[in-house]
Amino acid sequence: MRPAPVLPDIVRQHAEMAAFLWISYDHHLQHPDENPEMDEERVARLIERLEAHLDGLRIAGTDGLEIAKDRYAECCEVGELFVLRMLLYDQSIPVRALNSERVRAYLLAQAGLPIDELS
């Protein structure tokens, strides 16, 4: 059976949405009282959506990784870097299992660097 074709526009949307959702989630972690409507249920749904978009990129395989690299090269922002780093791990790591403070520190220190200079 041949693998399903990769639709670059859809995979790009996964990369863009995952970056946006990470930024939204991280903002909520830093400012939990800023949006009273962001209760535990909405945070859980946000994380589910974030992980679904990351899964979409993983399913696309090397094409998903290349699209994530292209997105980071276009705009070297923390959200795009987060997506890229999540795809570079050999296994999927649940977003809730991440140490958000360490992730944030890494992203802030590395965002803006060319891909070949990332540690």
CA distance 79 to 65: 15
pLDDT grade for 80, boundaries at 50, 70 and 90: very high
Residue 74 has pLDDT above 90, yes or no: yes
Rounded-to-integer distance, Cα 95 and Cα 73, Å: 23
User: Which pLDDT band, with edges at 50, 70 and 90, does 5 fall under?
Assistant: confident
Mean pLDDT, residues 60-72: 96
Amino acid of residue 12: R
Token representation of residue 50 = 């974030």
Confidence (pLDDT) at 89: 87
Domain borders along the chain are 8-30+38-114
Mean pLDDT confidence for 97-112: 96
The crossing angle, in degrees rounded to 10, of helices 62-74 and 8-30 is 60
Kindly report, residue by residue over 13-41, the tens digit of the pLDDT. Answer: 999 999 999 999 999 999 999 999 999 99
57-72 as b/e: b if 16+ CB within 10 A: beebeeebbebbbebb
Q: What is the pLDDT of residue 91?
A: 85
- Predicted confidence (pLDDT) at residue 101 exceeds the cutoff of 90: yes
Mean pLDDT computed over 90-95: 89
